[in-house]
Amino acid sequence: MNRLRRDLVGAAAWAAILPQALAAQPARMPRVLWAAPRGPQDSIRKVFSARGLEDGRNVRLVFETVRRMAQRPEIEANARRFVAGQPDVIVIVGEAAELFEIQRLTRTIPVVFANLNIDPQLVGLVESARRPGGNLTGTFSPWDVLVTKHLGLLLEVKPSMRLVGRLQIKEALEETSAGEAGWVRIWRLQEESVRNAAAASKVELREIVLPGSISAASMARAVRDSRVEGLLVEFAMTKGVFEYLRSCPLPACMYSPESARAGALMAVFDDWDEGLEQAVRMVVRILRGESPASMPVYQVTKYGIAVNLRTARANGIVIPPSVLVQATEVIE
């Protein structure tokens, strides 16, 4: 009887002390794994901070670097590592193929994709844009919209243009078309978007596939022999290609403002920051208890145009006022 009484007294004492002990313990800090092929980490921290989440104080941001068009063993290893760490949210930026592998590995860890260049419903990442239905949601910029803007800009510079060269790097093209299954689905849909955009713009596309090691002189010969009237330039370009683009007599359009700053004539690009900021908003909502299953996918709405007038003047290309009015960045 005395022993029973001691046990009861001890249990009562613990019942009184335990809530205080738990309250004294710091709450577990949620972890967000941010996987991206590029991007300054400090700017991401600032976006989180603007939403009330300070890295190291009330959230832990774990940054991982992923490569575009990586080989399957690397993709699988990355995805397994990300999921094994059991973060509260995984963010995959850009078109990293890890996104598809992570979807295969987990249906419980919330995943946010940021700046995907394809409608996620078309490649099976979500059930619908309005109601994703699973553990994935995020932001995207439709490739067909971007390509249509590129061709439209080329036609504004040269309205008579009917034959457009589509410049691609051989090694990058081979890696893309033979890559991870999810990425191949994206690539094929993007190819279809380019063809549809060309048909709608009433121009013919001519593929110009060149090795990454090509020199500026060889590049000039290849473009001249193709008889194209303008260039649509895809993938990250090499030194030789950039050297050629600085002296290219044809209107050429690329996919990032950095390319125009480096000497290319023009670039049309989606607003990368808009997609990232909206993705962070989604992460914050998930950490506060919302489910990605009912969180609508966000489509990027802002686009930019960069024009390099130095390159235009050097190559005798006249940029019409209609293009300059639209430009968000003009390099004098």
pLDDT of residue 21: 45
pLDDT of residue 20: 54
All structural domains of the chain, each given as residue ranges with its CATH number in brackets, are: 31-142+271-301 (3.40.50.2300), 143-270+304-331 (3.40.50.2300)
pLDDT score of 2 more than 70: no
pLDDT of residue 48: 95
Lowest-pLDDT range, 95-104, 168-177, 227-236, 297-306? 168-177
pLDDT score of 331 more than 80: yes
pLDDT of residue 118: 86
pLDDT of residue 71: 72
Q: Would you place residue 123 in the very low, low, confident or very high pLDDT band (cuts 50, 70, 90)?
A: confident
HEC assignment per residue over the chain: CHHHHHHHHHHHHHHHHHHHHHHHCCCCCCEEEEEECCCCHHHHHHHHHHCCCCECCCEEEEEEECCCCCCHHHHHHHHHHHHHCCCCEEEEECCCCHHHHHHHHCCCCCEEEEEECCCCCCCCCCCCCCCCCCCEEEEECCHHHHHHHHHHHHHHHCCCCCEEEEEEEHHHHHHHHCCCHHHHHHHHHHHHHHHHHHHHCCCEEEEEEECCCCCHHHHHHHHHHHCCCEEEECCCCCHHHHHHHHCCCCCEEECCHHHHHCCCCEEEEECHHHHHHHHHHHHHHHHCCCCHHHCCCEECCCEEEEEEHHHHHHCCCCCCHHHHHHCCEEEC
pLDDT of residue 16: 52
pLDDT score of 238 more than 80: no
pLDDT of residue 179: 55
pLDDT score of 156 more than 90: yes
Mean pLDDT of 216-242: 85
Mean pLDDT of 210-214: 80
- Per-residue model confidence as pLDDT tens digits over 61-94: 999 998 766 677 888 899 999 999 999 999 999 8
Q: Would you place residue 190 in the very low, low, confident or very high pLDDT band (cuts 50, 70, 90)?
A: confident
Computed over every residue of the chain, the mean pLDDT equals: 86
pLDDT of residue 184: 72
Lowest-pLDDT range, 152-156, 218-222, 320-324? 218-222
- Per-residue model confidence as pLDDT tens digits over 17-71: 545 544 444 568 999 999 998 767 899 999 999 999 999 999 999 999 987 666 7
pLDDT of residue 9: 46
